[in-house]
Structure 1
Amino acid sequence: MDVQAYRPHAIHGADRIWAETNCYVDVVLELIHALGFEPIAALPFTLSISYEGDQWTFFKFPPFDLFDLYGLELQELNPWNNLAEHIETQVSLGRPVLVELDSCYLPDTQGTTYRHEHVKSTVAVNFIDRQQKRLGYFHGQSYYELDGDDFDLVLQTEGLVHERMLPPYIELVKCHRTAEEANAALVERSIDALRRQLRYLPASNPFSSFAVQFEKQLPDIKAKGLEHFHQYSFATLRQFGACYELSATYLKWLTEKTSKDFSLAEQNFLDISQGAKTLQFQLARAVARNRDIDLRPLQVMAELWQQAIDSIKTQVAAL
């Protein structure tokens, strides 16, 4: 693929509330897009996230949905041999490889973690040239290439840095269906996935339990400073904020593809997503300046969530 010619999916456009979601969803979404499929159809899973007691669900595409919608089969790869050789073997067979790599050596993270901080992140490799030391990969919002020293360092071609360093988690992607075949029944399969996800909704309003824990944890968050705030925010506000923006995107698509109107729920989830972004900024200021923060917006989010879920159930029942 041509890095300069590649155009990311609209979900990674400049008009989004959250530029990125999480490393796994972003990369798989772009991979689906690059293979010629419509990734929005696979977003029903975003509706069933919840507050897990100490964090919001780290949302990911369910493998069954990827197979049912697009014929994409994810299989774990056992890294018994050299990582670069494994990737070369699978890519040569037409199978992209999802692998956890160190962002410290991913040049697309320039200005954040590149050559600065060791943070694992999932990429989807679809091109490798071991002789020329070049790697083409999806990461975050787009498609990139790296070469030279970055190739050696990110793939550990000289061996593990130390003996206790564990090999990365790797998945290979097999494609059993063409885009034309998938698109023939894409809306119907997506609605099936939506009905399935509605059975997995939280038993109670997740914002109610989150608000209680947030208030309890707030003194500790403020006391531990901005570094701890970033970790907390990523696990909570950013997760549900980015996820529910994807929910809104899905519901807009569903309104366009069916005879039902999901616009109320779409707007509610957009409001929740924007509210999470605003609350994140307010929390950052509260931590930096040791100030109080108004938690009433969480009650508003709870009401918006309940209205959205009730509306979706009504519309789906009529499909």
Structure 2
Amino acid sequence: MLKQILPIDASRYQNHAIHGADRCWAETNCYVDVMVELLHGLELEPIAALPFTLCIDFEGDQWTFFKFPHQDLFTLFGIEIQELNPWLSFATHVEEQVSLGRPVLVEVDSYFLPDTAGTAYQTEHVKTTIAVNAVDIENARLGYFHGQGYYELDGENCRELLQLDGIPNPRVLPPYIEYLKLRPQLIETDRRPLPQKSVEVLRRNLALTPSDNPFTRFKERFEADLDWLMAESIETFHKYSFATLRQYGACFELVETYLRWLERHGETGLNGAVEAFGSLSTTAKAFQFQLARAMARKRALDTSTINTMGEHWEQGMQTLRQKYA
């Protein structure tokens, strides 16, 4: 029997504008992308919950793998996210939680997800996060949010993904699983408009932003990495870029998106920050291509572009701190 939370048809699903064709960065990271579409499917506005993107920092060997903070989702939407203890089979837990009306976030192997065709499907074992909305264990069917949309899975791929055949290898740890408890009644007494509540979340997140310019630290590490990067393969480039350039580039495009949303809802004085973070994001995209070409041709790379991105960061943060801090 099919257990389903939202009555969604994958063939008719329209993804959120954050995953529109006009974006500079088509994807962000697996957790943010799936949450954007899950919130969208729940008829909630994910853009309102984007203030956390301002907190991204250079962490020494990578930029922050940014994720929606649980506190922000609860403040804005009454969504409570809890970790699930997988003491039974993976599939049993998914079916149980979905039957209770709780979407399930679970780490799975992209090797069995046809929506990753051209990247990982049937070619590479890559961890990713999906949000399960519908499941039919008996007939091996699954409806799930992933990446930029909503998809349906059946047959052998579904059986492999849910580990329905036999006992899993005891050396393979169970996946990390979370479930969403949708409790809007807990915030119904707060009658403020969503943009006003979002500004409250923005003020809270501004206090968590880096105290110094992270691009200064990133440039020092990047220049130290260049010698070995130039001798590496294109596969290493993709891994390095995902942990650094792509991570902050996509993140600051979301900052721009959030600030434009605030402007549409009456916030003023944000134009300088909108332009600064937008320029930072597009510069990161261009710099990523420059790095790829430099590695392919074994040629020197001008790193002064990182200074420019740092200047954009300073300008944008100064505008927001003066207005909201």
**TM range, normalised to the smaller chain?**
over 0.9
Q: Is the 8 A contact 1:24 1:122 kept in 2?
A: yes
Structure 2 counterpart of 1:188:
196
What is the TM-score of this pair, normalised by structure 2?
Answer: 0.94
Number of residue pairs matched by the alignment: 316
Structure 2 counterpart of 1:218:
226
Deviation (angstroms), 1:316: 2.1
SS in structure 1 of the partner of residue 122 of structure 2: coil
User: Does 2:45 match 1:57?
Assistant: no
> What are the equivalent positions in structure 2 for 1:122-133 lying under 5 Å apart?
122-133=129-140
2:109 and 2:167 map into 1 onto residues whose CA distance is 12
Read off the aligned partner of 2:317 and give its amino acid letter.
Answer: I
Read off the aligned partner of 1:271 and give its amino acid letter.
Answer: S
SS in structure 2 of the partner of residue 144 of structure 1: strand
2:25 to 18, 26, 39: 18
Read off the aligned partner of 1:170 and give its amino acid letter.
Answer: I
Deviation (angstroms), 1:282: 0.9
1:160 and 1:110 map into 2 onto residues whose CA distance is 27
Relative distance call for 1:259 and 1:270 in structure 2 (3 A) is: closer
Read off the aligned partner of 2:279 and give its amino acid letter.
Answer: D
Structure 2 counterpart of 1:108:
115
Relative distance call for 1:111 and 1:199 in structure 2 (3 A) is: same
2:191 and 2:225 map into 1 onto residues whose CA distance is 46
> What are the equivalent positions in structure 2 for 1:271-290 lying under 5 Å apart?
271-290=279-298
What is the TM-score of this pair, normalised by structure 1?
Answer: 0.96
Q: Is the 8 A contact 1:135 1:146 kept in 2?
A: yes
5+ residue gaps, structure 1: none
Structure 2 counterpart of 1:94:
101
The worse-fitting range, judged by mean Cα deviation, of 227-236 and 159-168 is 159-168
Q: Is the 8 A contact 1:42 1:69 kept in 2?
A: yes
Q: Is the 8 A contact 1:37 1:183 kept in 2?
A: no
Relative distance call for 1:96 and 1:61 in structure 2 (3 A) is: same
The worse-fitting range, judged by mean Cα deviation, of 102-111 and 307-316 is 307-316
SS in structure 1 of the partner of residue 12 of structure 2: coil
Deviation (angstroms), 1:225: 1.7
User: Does 2:109 match 1:67?
Assistant: no
Q: Is the 8 A contact 1:260 1:315 kept in 2?
A: no
User: Does 2:40 match 1:36?
Assistant: no
User: Does 2:212 match 1:204?
Assistant: yes
Aligned sequence identity (%) = 55
User: Does 2:85 match 1:78?
Assistant: yes
1:305 and 1:123 map into 2 onto residues whose CA distance is 32
SS in structure 2 of the partner of residue 190 of structure 1: helix
Structure 1 counterpart of 2:171:
164
User: Does 2:321 match 1:313?
Assistant: yes
Structure 1 counterpart of 2:262:
254
Read off the aligned partner of 1:189 and give its amino acid letter.
Answer: K
2:191 and 2:17 map into 1 onto residues whose CA distance is 18
The worse-fitting range, judged by mean Cα deviation, of 215-224 and 251-260 is 251-260
Read off the aligned partner of 2:319 and give its amino acid letter.
Answer: S
Structure 2 counterpart of 1:236:
244
User: Does 2:126 match 1:119?
Assistant: yes
Deviation (angstroms), 1:264: 1.2
1:76-98 Cα offsets, whole Å, 9 max, x none, are: 00111111111111001100000
User: Does 2:180 match 1:173?
Assistant: yes
Deviation (angstroms), 1:287: 1.1
Deviation (angstroms), 1:163: 2.2
1:269 and 1:111 map into 2 onto residues whose CA distance is 31
Deviation (angstroms), 1:261: 2.4
Aligned-residue CA RMSD in angstroms? Answer: 1.4
1:271 and 1:203 map into 2 onto residues whose CA distance is 21
1:171-199 Cα offsets, whole Å, 9 max, x none, are: 00010117x95885311221111111111
> What are the equivalent positions in structure 2 for 1:265-276 lying under 5 Å apart?
265-276=273-284
Structure 2 counterpart of 1:291:
299
Read off the aligned partner of 1:105 and give its amino acid letter.
Answer: F
